[in-house]
Amino acid sequence: MSQLTVPTMAEMTANGETPEVLFWVGCSGSFDDRAKKITRAMAKLLTKAQVKFAVLGTEESCTGDPAKRAGNEFLFQMQAFTNIQVLNAYNVKKVVTTCPHCFNTLKNEYPELGGNYEVMHHTQLLQILLDEGKLSIEGGKFKGKKITYHDACYLGRANGVYEAPRDLIAKLDSEFVEMKRSKAKGLCCGAGGAQMFKEPEKGNKDINIERTEDAIETNAEIIATACPFCNTMMTDGVKNKNKEGQIRVFDLAELVAQASDL
Amino acid sequence: MHYLPNVLFALLLLTTVLLFVKQAGKIRRNILLGRELDRSDQPKLRLKTMFMVALGQSKMVKRPVAGLLHIVVYVGFVIINIEVIEILIDGLFSTHRVLSFLGGLYDFLIGSFEILAISVLAACVIFLLRRNVLKIKRFWNREMTSWPRTDANIILTIEILLMSAFLIMNASDSILQSRLVEHYSVAGAFPISSMIAPLLSDWSTDGLIFLERFCWWFHIIGIFAFINYLPMSKHFHIILAFPNVYYSNLEHLGRLSNIKEVSNEVKLMMDPSATPPPADATPPTFGAKDIADLSWKSIMDGYTCTECGRCSSVCPANQTGKLLSPRKIMMDVRDRAEEVGNNIDKHGKDHNDGKTLVHDYITAEELWACTTCNACTDACPVNNDPLAVIVELRRYLVMEKSEAPKELNNVFTNIENNGAPWQFPMADRLNWAKEQE
């Protein structure tokens, strides 16, 4: 496989170029081994669609989402102001991100602090690229495969994005099956609000197990996710249920990339 | 002596109104103990939301059984109150069925009230069965202690009694009308009470007059008492639901507020040339330790809470056995506001009872179980926002007390030092591009 070419904002600016869109990778997408695959799938898709994109690379820093939701407003705003300085210095207009938490924070919480960008979630951008014909899905790799979709809270309930991910699954020509709790009624994977980084409080079950059971009930072969944290939680849930042979967890970017033979 | 009933009625009415104004005034005072929050923007959208969610019950019907039954009780309650206008006039001026000059329209109204009354009665019986016989889980959670359960049963029982009194009154009235008793002029249509009337046909005229008067007084005194029960009960939502929805959060649910004072300090740290705040400005408490640190809207949320438990039944933490229950958060806010209010009444404005909302009412374990998924805020039929309270209390624990769980303190340190919740160097951020599957 050919080496990915991922230009940074610094390089592009040095060459006097302006990207159409900044790909905000996020901490999970940068450091988590599983999530890095999602990042690479997205980068390949952007390249294939000939979208002129760039990343911040080593200039990117946590949006501050987990700090804010854990109550550390100081740390959040330190991160926010620093990131906004960087983004504004590069005159960024459009941002796409594979993480709904980054998406929500950049889109809803940065404007008041001076960061105004058009922020898209990657499922929204992929939907546009497919609709415009800049990407295409051929060969029917997923034809007849049963896929279910787990709504990420920060994409769905928090921002009302329910259709873009479902539209992508429809475009895969697969057999889509909804979980009993979906869209506004979707159950959290258990990672939000900085829970990802701590042990759960005492209870009688882990939230990701409860959610994985919803997914298993659908008899789907693939659980599609749109958030790196949901991906981790659902993957762990499937492992816990010893269903790794039957069910696989993929991000929608990975599914679209696989369907496009990338 | 002739005017005794009228005077008695007028006194009762006056007492009812004064007592209610006093009680509602206290709740208003308690709500305004909260911090300022500007929710005066977008009046058109606010009105529309109020029209849909409060008046139109759009979120109630998401659970069709409870939703439709609730609409029956709600519509019944609102429309039957037209009848109360007539009762008030009759009571004050010794008239009988003063609106009967409306003729056919009057017959139609009384007939509709009867059909609504029997529907309300049936719905309340079903509600009682759901709570006490079917024992639907959300009505029996940990926070549904003896008083909240009793409160719900009292409300339903009062409604059943009021509707029964109305129907029995009409039944005896219709017999008295057919016996051409003086004062009981022929008026009204009685589709439901005509089925009760045969049971009373053997009664003497005096007995029927007594029964009719008894039900009439029972009905109106019941309503007067009920009005003053509202401020002590979750049933206050029939009033507060409207302003509460009007002033609800119109932003995307995912957006949390940015603390202004923090912005000022962070700006100052990043740019020393920025204007510092005046030296005499009082340093704010970050987050909320008690009622007065919450916004007034959060306290109004508490007073509007109907304890229906839809929030907790969709909460991922609550469903998996954690201590957190968004309904309890709302109830705790209300109960603490009541306690602080009572302290003010008894001991004056600056009394400190040594208690706080956090710890004494809401524990850290509850707060740290929240995934901020917004299922609770989405589910609330009166647009309450338990998450706003949870975040404010977390802010207090973290920024004022440094009492975050240890793992989260590590996350904070990592974000501060290397810009990620994990301990990876920033220089490795682009490694993903070089690695191959």
CATH code at position B335:
1.10.1060
How close B354 gets to chain A, by Cα (Å)? 24
What is chain B's length? 437
Across the interface, whether the CB atoms of A58 and B429 are under 8 A apart is answered yes
How close B31 gets to chain A, by Cα (Å)? 24
pLDDT digits (tens, 9 = 90+) for A218-233: 999 999 999 999 999 9
Domain ranges of chain A: 9-128, 137-259
What's the pLDDT score for residue B272?
Answer: 76
**Tokens linked to B220:** 């109106």
What's the pLDDT score for residue B33?
Answer: 97
Across the interface, whether the CB atoms of A188 and B259 are under 8 A apart is answered no
Could you tell me which CATH class the domain A9-128 is placed in? alpha beta
Q: Are residues B201 and B135 in the same domain?
A: yes
**Tokens linked to A187:** 């159950």
Selected residue of B62, B320, B435 to mutate for chain A interface (largest A Cβ count, 10 A)? B320
What's the pLDDT score for residue B436?
Answer: 74
**Tokens linked to A171:** 């475009």
Sequence-ordered list of residues with C-beta below 8 angstroms from that of B356, at least 6 positions apart, any chain: B289, B290
Q: What's chain B look like in SS3?
A: CCCHHHHHHHHHHHHHHHHHHHHHHHHHHHHCCCECCCCCCCHHHHHHHHHHHHHCCCCHHHCHHHHHHHHHHHHHHHHHHHHHHHHHHHHHHCCCCHHHHHCHHHHHHHHHHHHHHHHHHHHHHHHHHHHHCCCCHHHCCCCCCHHHHHHHHHHHHHHHHHHHHHHHHHHHHHHHHHCCCCCCCCCCCCCCHHHHHHHHCCCCHHHHHHHHHHHHHHHHHHHHHHHHHHHHCHHHHHHHHHHHHHCCCCCCCCCCCCCHHHHHHHHHHHCCCCCCCCCCCCCCCCCCCCHHHCEHHHHHHHHHCCCCCHHHHHCHHHHCCCCCCHHHHHHHHHHHHHHHHHHHHHHCCCCCCCCCHHHHHECHHHHCCCCCCCHHHHHCCCCCCHHHHHHHHHHHHHHHCCCCCHHHHHHHHHHHHHCCCCCCCHHHCCHHHHCCC
- CA dist., res. A69 & res. A173, Å (int): 38
pLDDT digits (tens, 9 = 90+) for A153-166: 999 999 999 999 99
Q: Which residue of chain B has the CA closest to A181?
A: B314
Q: Are residues B232 and B320 in the same domain?
A: no
What's the pLDDT score for residue B303?
Answer: 98
Q: Tell me, yes or no, if B189 comes closer than 8 A to chain A by beta carbon.
A: no
The DSSP bridge partners found for residue A249 are: A223
Across the interface, whether the CB atoms of A78 and B252 are under 8 A apart is answered no
Residue with the bigger pLDDT between A250 and B435: it is A250
Query: Is a pLDDT exceeding 60 seen at residue A247?
Result: yes
- CA dist., res. A173 & res. A73, Å (int): 44
What's the pLDDT score for residue B282?
Answer: 66
What's the pLDDT score for residue A197?
Answer: 95
pLDDT above 90 coverage of chain B, percent: 88
- CA dist., res. B245 & res. B300, Å (int): 10
Across the interface, whether the CB atoms of A210 and B319 are under 8 A apart is answered yes
Q: Checking DSSP bridges between strand A146-149 and strand A94-97, what pairing results, if any?
A: unpaired
Q: Are residues B270 and B418 in the same domain?
A: yes
Residue B84 lies in a domain: yes
What's the pLDDT score for residue A104?
Answer: 98
Q: Residues A217-249, buried b or exposed e (16+ Cβ, 10 A)? A: ebebbbbbbbbbbbbbbbbbbbeeeeeeeebeb
Q: Are residues B318 and B199 in the same domain?
A: no
pLDDT band at residue A138 using 50, 70 and 90 as cut-offs: confident
Q: Are residues B193 and B292 in the same domain?
A: no
Residue B97 lies in a domain: yes
The C-alpha R_g of chain A, in whole angstroms, comes to 18
Q: Are A133 and A139 in contact (CB under 8 A)?
A: no
Q: Are residues B218 and B271 in the same domain?
A: no
Q: What element of type H or E holds A186?
A: none
Could you tell me which CATH class the domain A137-259 is placed in? alpha beta
Sequence-ordered list of residues with C-beta below 8 angstroms from that of B296, at least 6 positions apart, any chain: B31, B32, B33, B34, B35, B36, B37
Question: Coil, strand or helix: which one is A175?
Answer: strand
Q: Tell me, yes or no, if B32 comes closer than 8 A to chain A by beta carbon.
A: no
Give me the residues of chain B with pLDDT under 50, please: none
Q: Residues A95-131, buried b or exposed e (16+ Cβ, 10 A)? A: bbbbbbbbbbbbbbbbeebebebebbbbbbbbbebbe
Across the interface, whether the CB atoms of A40 and B433 are under 8 A apart is answered yes
Q: Are residues B193 and B304 in the same domain?
A: no
- Amino acid B277 reads P
What separation in angstroms does the CA of B363 have from each of A135, B349, B396? 51, 26, 13
Q: Are B118 and B196 in contact (CB under 8 A)?
A: no
**A8 chain-B contacts, CB cut-off 8 A:** 430
Across the interface, whether the CB atoms of B391 and A71 are under 8 A apart is answered yes
Q: Are residues B188 and B235 in the same domain?
A: yes
Residue B215 lies in a domain: yes
pLDDT digits (tens, 9 = 90+) for A207-217: 999 999 999 99
Expressed as residue numbers, the domain containing B106 is: 4-31+63-246
Q: Are B213 and B91 in contact (CB under 8 A)?
A: no
What's the pLDDT score for residue B58?
Answer: 96
Domain count, chain B: 2
What is chain A's length? 262
**Tokens linked to B179:** 């016996």
Q: What is the mean pLDDT of residues A73-78?
A: 97
Across the interface, whether the CB atoms of A203 and B322 are under 8 A apart is answered yes
Question: Coil, strand or helix: which one is A251?
Answer: strand
Nearest to A192 among B373, B378, B411 (CB): B373
Residue B40 lies in a domain: no
- CA dist., res. B110 & res. B103, Å (int): 11
**Tokens linked to B332:** 């705790």
What separation in angstroms does the CA of A81 have from each of A72, A194, B283? 14, 20, 22
Nearest to A207 among B251, B320, B378 (CB): B320
- Count other C-beta atoms under 10 Å from residue B159's C-beta: 24
Instruction: Using alpha carbons, select from B321, B306, B318 the residue that is nearest to residue B381.
Output: B306
Q: Are residues B214 and B267 in the same domain?
A: no
Cα B118-B119-B122 angle, rounded to 5 deg: 85
Selected residue of A2, A3, A30 to mutate for chain B interface (largest B Cβ count, 10 A)? A30
Q: Which residue of chain A has the CA closest to B59?
A: A184
Q: Do domains A9-128 and A137-259 have the same CATH topology?
A: yes
How close B264 gets to chain A, by Cα (Å)? 10
What's the pLDDT score for residue B279?
Answer: 66
Residue B340 lies in a domain: yes
Sequence-ordered list of residues with C-beta below 8 angstroms from that of A192, at least 6 positions apart, any chain: A69, A101, A153, A154, A229, B371, B372, B373
pLDDT band at residue A97 using 50, 70 and 90 as cut-offs: very high
